[in-house]
Structure 1
Amino acid sequence: MFKDFDIKRAFEKILDKLYGWGEDILLATPNFLLAIVVFVLFWYAGKYFGHFIKKVLLKKVGQESIKAILARTAFIVTVLVGFFTALAILDLDKVLTSVLAGAGVVGLAIGLALQGTLHNTFSGFILSFLPNIQIGDWIVTNNHEGRVIDINLRSVTIMEADNNAVVIPNSKIIDAPFKNFTGTKRSRITISCGVGYESDLELVKKVTTKAIAELFKQEKNEEIEFFYTAFGDSSINYLIRFWTPIKDRKDILDAQSKGIMAIKAAYNANNINIPFPIRTLDFGKNKFRAETLHIKNME
């Protein structure tokens, strides 16, 4: 009888507990359904918000990788807000507090462990909104020169003239000077040369300037500049500067090449000499003769 009584009491306690849980579930069902609806709404709102940021707000940003990362970040932030809102609806304040505290500790640990990566990430955000560097630009930075083929949250990739890709961390680009050839439509080209000492310098200046002017049209507020720079060992040296459209290093080399050919053709037509250094070698002929005579006398 005693055992039957204990079993009956235990069974009644179990039933009471189940009934209590059932009542709690029934009472919490509206909040639970509301929390699910709220979380689903925030989920879809995050997707549309990310799409809006990528297609509208970041329309002028040329880097697709940056657009994707920012859109994904907006989606995650929106979903997290929906998650915390759903917990608040379910009156899970303690769980919400624990989650926030854990997220703070984890975030601090990750921040300390990934300082360099975070530096590159923030630098990537800065670069993505700067007009000074874009995909397709020809730049010189950190002793490397080439065309920018990718900008992401970690690095900038440039393709050098020898067709080798160089990956440079974003922080290096931000912290160091860089030169962008594509940033301006026109640049100034310099060609150096020398003419013989017998040359008519006024004629040389006139012929050289005319040869460049016929080949490279100068726009408003631009002019061809000619300067004699030094009395060289075998020539009077000068430099000439002029403006031309430039997008990369190849354009500079092409302009210099065309300018040199035009100057040489003009000099040939006007009998202007471009001298080259002449070196006279002294083999000590007198000393050699004296040593030869001395040897003959000894014989």
Structure 2
Amino acid sequence: MTEEFNKAYELISGKLTGWLETIIANLPNLLIAIIVMVVFYYISKYVSKLVGRLVSKKVHQDSLVSIITKITAVAIIAVGLFLALGVLNLSKTLETLIGAAGVSGLVIGLALQGTLSNTFAGIVLSFRKSVELGHWVETNGYSGEVVEISLKNFVIKEADNNMVLIPNKSILENPLKNYSLTTKMRVFIECGVGYESDLDEVKRLTQQTISNEFDQVKKPEDVEFYYTEFGGSSINYLCRFWIDSESMLEKLKAKTNAIIAIKKAYDKAGINIPFPIRTLQFDNKLAIDKEVVNGEFSNN
């Protein structure tokens, strides 16, 4: 029993002695590895703050700025960790970590494919100058003001004050019309006048009315006016003109004001805006006398 105890004691002491000698032999490398990690830790803090300041000038979403700075810090610390393991001659451990990170990244990527695609799409949208907060856009069947670009959704506020959350991936994969990229919009008005109307006078009066209503229209000739067809009850026309506007709501207001002004001008000038009329004409006169006999109709 004593002999077995001595053997176990010698084995444990030999292991501890070997570990101690290994630690002492690698103490300089350990100190260097610790110094490398500390240096890269402070480098990550400094660089992440610098990246945050630069990104915040381009991106107005705090969530995106935060995630970008964290990714930067983690990347720098990971580089420091790999260098520290290399200093300690732990190449096998380093290879194991890289392999495990690759497998884990693949599994996570497959599991969160939709979420990650929306996240990266949100980052891309945040750096696009063509789409910014406050712009009036139309996409995926919705139209409104851009109020938020998060890591998951593209949020717009419609004219009826309802919020619409659209996945960022859908914004990148579908067409997007941005009304705020230009300072002017063209207003289209379609109407019709009666066949008895003086067409030259209708054109002149319409152009003059719009010119008087909007300061942006310097002269009546700036209003484009075209007769388009002989309709069922009216001669139809199309007129269009430019206004200073950056949102669809302003365009709708301008169109409303134009329609009101044109209607008042036509009423004053006695110009008729007809509505569709259906006339039933009977050329043959039939005289049919019907009498009710025993609850039934009979013809005489």
TM-score, scaled to structure 1: 0.86
**Residues 53-62 or 198-207, more deviating:** 53-62
Deviation at 1:61, TM superposition (A): 2.7
User: Would the aligned equivalents of 1:63 and 1:135 in 2 still touch at CA under 8 Å?
Assistant: no
Alpha-carbon distance in structure 2 between the residues aligned to 1:15 and 1:116: 56
Change (3 A) 1:245 1:8: same
2:93 matched to which residue of 1?
A: 95
Post-superposition CA distance 1:87-143 (Å, at most 9, x none): 112221111110011111222222333333333333223322222222222222111
1:148 matched to which residue of 2?
A: 146
Q: Pick one of 187, 202, 206 that aligns with 1:204.
A: 202
| 1:267 correspondence with 2:266 | yes
1:218-297 paired onto structure 2 within 5 Å: 218=217, 223-280=222-279, 286-287=285-286, 289-292=287-290
Q: Pick one of 44, 47, 66 that aligns with 2:45.
A: 47
Q: Which runs of 5+ in 2 are unaligned?
A: none
Alpha-carbon distance in structure 2 between the residues aligned to 1:111 and 1:37: 34
1:172 matched to which residue of 2?
A: 170
User: Would the aligned equivalents of 2:225 and 2:240 in 1 still touch at CA under 8 Å?
Assistant: yes
Change (3 A) 1:261 1:116: same
Deviation at 1:256, TM superposition (A): 0.7
Number of residue pairs the alignment of both structures matches = 295
User: Would the aligned equivalents of 2:289 and 2:299 in 1 still touch at CA under 8 Å?
Assistant: no
User: Would the aligned equivalents of 1:229 and 1:238 in 2 still touch at CA under 8 Å?
Assistant: yes
- Let me know the Cα RMSD of the aligned residues: 2.9
Provide the secondary structure at the position in 2 that maps to 1:59: helix
Q: Pick one of 193, 216, 231 that aligns with 1:195.
A: 193
Provide the secondary structure at the position in 2 that maps to 1:146: strand
Q: Pick one of 11, 14, 17 that aligns with 2:12.
A: 14
2:28 matched to which residue of 1?
A: 30
One-letter amino acid of the structure 1 residue matched with residue 267 of structure 2 = N
Q: Which runs of 5+ in 1 are unaligned?
A: none
One-letter amino acid of the structure 2 residue matched with residue 208 of structure 1 = T
Once the two structures are aligned, what percentage of the paired residues are identical? Answer: 44
